[in-house]
Amino acid sequence: MNRRGALLLAVSAIALIALPAFANNYLISVATLCLFFAYTGQAWNIMMGFAGQLSLGHALYLGVGGYSAAALYFHYGIGPWLGVGLAIILSIALGAFLCALAFRYGISGVYFTLLTIAFAEFTRIGFDHLAWTGGSAGLFLKVAQRDRADLVNLRGPPAMYYYVILALTALACGFSAWLLRRRAGYYWQAIRENEEAARALGINTIRWKILAVIISAAMTAVAGVFIAFYYNNLFPEQIFNINRSVEIILGPIVGGMGTLFGPIIGAALMTLLTDGATELVAALGWNIPGVKQLIYGLVLLAVVVFLPEGVWPAMARKLKLDR
């Protein structure tokens, strides 16, 4: 990273850390959502951006992560820090099972992607009928006092959640940067670029693809635990919904797949765009149904057409930063 980049990163970090001191609860909640998508985008990016394996079913890991920690807390009072362990174990098991099924039968490309959707969908249907987690009626955590930060049980004011997801995002960024500079990063990118050539260079591509999937799954499950304790409710129809999976991937696609900062920039843009469109429509006094979605769609279209690599690579060039 060059000096300009380091300076920009430091300034952004300070701004993000200082934000709750200046922002009201609404702004903090927008920023929290923003970082949530930055974090999950970063997790998805390891699988798709680095290793080239498209998942359209990341809601699976989000939901399983959220449900496992929330259910432990709800039924046995076991806190989220232990719950996150179960979330990670279950999501790794699911990711590994998906890979075993896919790679055993040589399923790849779009068919692999269909399998990721199928896994998320049948898990959703399963949870709809699982009485232990409340079935389709949902699972609710007690909403506790919100003036005191209780990190052990992840109960507290909005600013606490903001800092938790900020820390997670920073960790995910550092972890991704570290992975990219390791053998794993090189091997994943080789597989992404040309799997046959990667195999010829001695790479056991199945093994390395599984590694990308389970790391991505485990990271996403952690976000699931966060979102469960942040919103205090879980519904299979929401958490496992394919819309969730799509929301997760928009950030990295818009920001720039395979890059370190793309998922963050993309998530920020998409969240601000959603809320910005709402504000704009309200300010203009328009009462036209669907106009919000229209603005959202148009911006997305413009990015895809004019910046096919994503916003971040173009931004980095303009600002003369390293990517």
Partner 1 sequence: MSLLEVRNVDKSFSGLRAVRAVSFSVAANSITALIGPNGAGKTTLFNLIAGALAPDSGTIMFLDRRSDGLRPDQICARGIARTFQIVKPFAGLSVLDNVIVGALHRDANVGRARAHAQEILAKLGLASKRDLPAAALTLPDRKRLEVARALATQPKLLLLDEAMAGLRPTECDQMVAVLRELNRREGITILLIEHVMRAVMALADNVIVLHHGEIIGAGLPGEVVRQPAVVASYLGENSGL
Binding site for partner 1 (CB under 8 A): 181-183, 186-187, 189-190, 192-194, 196-205, 258
In the complex, minimum distance from the CB of residue 310 to partner 1, in angstroms, rounded to a whole number: 13
156/252 with CB nearer partner 1: 252
206/272 with CB nearer partner 1: 206
d(CA 16, CA 22): 11
SS (H, E, C) the chain: CCHHHHHHHHHHHHHHHHHHHHCCHHHHHHHHHHHHHHHHHHHHHHHHHHCCCCCCCCHHHHHHHHHHHHHHHHHHCCCHHHHHHHHHHHHHHHHHHHHHHHHHCCCCCHHHHHHHHHHHHHHHHHHHCCHHHCHHHCEECCCCCCCCCECCCCECCHHHHHHHHHHHHHHHHHHHHHHHCCHHHHHHHHHHHCHHHHHHCCCCHHHHHHHHHHHHHHHHHHHHHHHHHHHCEECHHHHCCHHHHHHHHHHHHHHCCCCCCHHHHHHHHHHHHHHHHHHHHHHHCCCCCCHHHHHHHHHHHHHHHHCCCCHHHHHHHHCCCCC
152/200 with CB nearer partner 1: 200
Q: What amino acid is encoded at 135 in this protein?
A: G
152/201 with CB nearer partner 1: 201
Nearest Cα neighbor of 47 from 116, 120, 122, 123 is 116
In the complex, minimum distance from the CB of residue 187 to partner 1, in angstroms, rounded to a whole number: 7
In the complex, minimum distance from the CB of residue 159 to partner 1, in angstroms, rounded to a whole number: 39
Residue 223 dihedral angles phi and psi, to the nearest 5°: -65, -35
In the complex, minimum distance from the CB of residue 101 to partner 1, in angstroms, rounded to a whole number: 19
In the complex, minimum distance from the CB of residue 183 to partner 1, in angstroms, rounded to a whole number: 5
In the complex, minimum distance from the CB of residue 268 to partner 1, in angstroms, rounded to a whole number: 25
In the complex, minimum distance from the CB of residue 253 to partner 1, in angstroms, rounded to a whole number: 16
In the complex, minimum distance from the CB of residue 89 to partner 1, in angstroms, rounded to a whole number: 27
